[in-house]
Each structure stands twice: as C-alpha cells, then as structure tokens.
Amino acid sequence: MKDGKKPYQTETVSEKKTEEGPKLSGGSAGTLWIVPTPIGNLEDITLRALRILKEVDKIAAEDTRNTRKLLTHFEIHKPLISYHDHNEKQRSETITSDLEKGLSIALVSDAGMPGISDPGFEVIQRVIEKNLPLEILPGATAFVNALVGSGLPNKRFVFEGFLSRERRERKKRLEILKEEDRTMIFYESPHRIKETLRDMGEIFGPRQGTIARELTKRYEEFIRGSLAALLEGLEKAPLKGEIVLVVEGFQGKKEESFEGLSLEEHLLLVMETGLSKKDAVKKVAKDRGIPKREVYDVGIEFEDSTD
C-alpha cells in the first residue's frame, strides 16, 4: 500500500494519521467526514461508513428525519443537525466553528455522495479554505451505476446533474451540449422526464439513451433505446421514482468554430466551402446572430466562389 498500511487495516477517529494526512485528535481541529449513504439498498453502506457514523461527535444531515431512520436501522445514536440548501451558509459557519473546537462531524445527504447534486459544496469549500481536516469516504453514487448499466460508451463521460426546470434555460443548456461527444449523464424528475426527452430529441436529433430508475431498490429498471423510443414508451406508461438519464454523445461532424475569427475571416472561411456569397452571408449572419446587411457590407469586395 502507498502509505505502508496493510490491506483492510482500520483506523479509528481518535487515532492520528501519517505526516501527510490530517491529525484527528490531541488538541487539533476535528475532522469533517463526507459519508455517502445508500441510494436504495441499505446493505450498500460500507463498514467504514458505519464506524465513522458511530464515532463522530455530530452528524449533519440533509433531512434529519430520513437520516434518523437510517441511523436507527443500524442502532447508531448521535446528535443530528440539519444541513440543506436553505441553511448551507449559516450551517457551514457553525460546522467549521465546531471543527476548530476539536469536534468531529459527519456530513450525509439523503442518499449517495454529499455534494453531488446534494448539499455539501459550501461547507467542503469552507473547510478547505480554513485548512481543516477533511476526509471523503467512497460509496454509492447513482450516476455511476446508471452509466455502467446503460451499455453506452463509458471511457469518457460528462455528468450534468439536474437540468433547469425552466424550459428556456434547459434548452439553452442542451444547445451547448449538442456537440458533446462524451456520454452524458443527467438526473431528472419523473414529472419532467418527458419534457426533457422531447427537448433532447428536438436539439440532439437521433440518439441512443438509457433511463435508469430506482437504482438498487426493489423495482430497479433499465430502459434502453433511442430518445424517440424512450419518449414513446413514457407516453404509454409514465414512470415513478428517481431517474438517471444517460445519453449517447454526438457522433457526427462538428461545425467549424468561428471563435477568434473576424467577420471578414469568417465569411471567407464559409465561402471556401463552396457556398455562394449570398448563402455564405446568410450562414455567417445566422451563426453570429447579426443582420445579413452587416455581413454583406464587410464582404462587398469579395468575389463569389461559385461564379
């Protein structure tokens, strides 16, 4: 092992780490532990996660009611404090203050890894800025299961999380992603999945996709097919439960980028593809979102390559 430990060697919260790692006791600051929790099946929690939850002084939870059920199941009794989207700033200050006093705290979300489409980023950032001890435990993350089970290329991928609820903003983001050649992963609500698939079909065109639903739970399901087929299926039988949508990356020829080109250079580049000056002016104007007259004026002296 890199740190000289034997495989599976454990270390309690009260023990100190090597010189490279943070000290966890002896009058030093306490450690913030980022602890993933099961995304469905309770058997997926790790032995290390259970040990840390039993040893810390406090547990910061996205929803204390949900976390209390998890802790009760594993007979863990620790003080709980809420840490969610609406109190992140205030709670981050409280947590870092407690860490500076030497208390150890575990941060959990309702399911999966805190900070991944869940609260956690602000307190992690604050802990790093203050150079306080931080430990991240490995554990369940829904998008990894969905990607592997999708059957789509997974050597390179991009995680997009939740798209905007507002259609205009959602379509704007999809326009940016339409030439993304890596497999794309999205979280989506069952109430918006049809709208999202409809927008993707309009912007992305024909693509393969996979809906991964209720991962690790009793009714886990993978639905694979074209975006159009997925949408057609949902029209007949709407889905319930938490959804991960995996979408094939762009496989076509990407449009030439005009970033950094002057208007004259852009027009010449388009005309070199064989388009007439008139059609090239139209294309450049559309690409840049400017009036055709503005493009025509800068290229008035250009010879038409189709003449």
Domain membership flag for residue 17: no
- Residue 23 — very low, low, confident or very high, per pLDDT cuts 50/70/90? very low
User: How far is the C-alpha of 58 from the C-alpha of 253, rounded, in Å?
Assistant: 53
Domain membership flag for residue 236: yes
Domain membership flag for residue 14: no
pTM as predicted? 0.75
Domain membership flag for residue 19: no
Domain membership flag for residue 115: yes
- In the prediction, which pLDDT does 256 show? 60
Domain termination site, one of 117, 136, 155? 136
Q: Are residues 124 and 166 in the same domain?
A: no
On whether the CB atoms of residues 270 and 306 are closer than 8 A, the answer is no
Q: Are residues 46 and 93 in the same domain?
A: yes
For the stretch 194-240, pLDDT in tens is: 999 999 999 999 999 999 999 999 999 999 999 999 999 999 999 99
Q: Are residues 164 and 212 in the same domain?
A: yes
- Residue 22 — very low, low, confident or very high, per pLDDT cuts 50/70/90? very low
> Could you tell me the two tokens for 121?
């980023």
Q: Are residues 122 and 151 in the same domain?
A: no
- Residue 296 — very low, low, confident or very high, per pLDDT cuts 50/70/90? confident
Q: Are residues 126 and 146 in the same domain?
A: no
Domain termination site, one of 136, 170, 202? 136
Domain membership flag for residue 267: yes
- Residue 274 — very low, low, confident or very high, per pLDDT cuts 50/70/90? confident
Is the model more confident about 241 or about 261? 241
Q: Are residues 220 and 243 in the same domain?
A: yes
For the stretch 97-111, pLDDT in tens is: 999 999 999 999 999
- In the prediction, which pLDDT does 13 show? 57
Q: Is the pLDDT of residue 249 over 70?
A: yes
For position 162, which CATH number holds? 3.30.950.10
Mean pLDDT of the chain: 88
Over residues 129-152, mean pLDDT: 96
Q: Are residues 236 and 301 in the same domain?
A: no
Domain membership flag for residue 15: no
- Full residue range of the structural domain in which residue 305 is found: 256-307
- Sheet containing 183-188: which strands, arranged edge to edge? 157-162, 183-188, 243-247, 208-213, 221-226
User: How far is the C-alpha of 169 from the C-alpha of 171, rounded, in Å?
Assistant: 5
121-129 vs 88-100: helix crossing angle, rounded to 10: 40
CB atoms closer than 10 angstroms to residue 90: 10
On whether the CB atoms of residues 71 and 156 are closer than 8 A, the answer is no
Domain termination site, one of 136, 160, 175? 136
Q: Are residues 169 and 154 in the same domain?
A: yes
For the stretch 25-57, pLDDT in tens is: 445 899 999 999 999 999 999 999 999 999 999
Q: Is the pLDDT of residue 9 over 60?
A: no
- In the prediction, which pLDDT does 19 show? 42
Question: What percent of the chain has a predicted confidence (pLDDT) above 70?
Answer: 87
Q: Are residues 185 and 88 in the same domain?
A: no
Number of domains in the chain: 3
Q: Are residues 262 and 240 in the same domain?
A: no
Domain membership flag for residue 171: yes
Q: Are residues 163 and 228 in the same domain?
A: yes
- Residue 16 — very low, low, confident or very high, per pLDDT cuts 50/70/90? very low
For the stretch 65-87, pLDDT in tens is: 999 999 999 999 999 999 998 99
Q: Are residues 214 and 269 in the same domain?
A: no
User: How far is the C-alpha of 203 from the C-alpha of 209, rounded, in Å?
Assistant: 14
- Residue 275 — very low, low, confident or very high, per pLDDT cuts 50/70/90? confident
For position 117, which CATH number holds? 3.40.1010.10
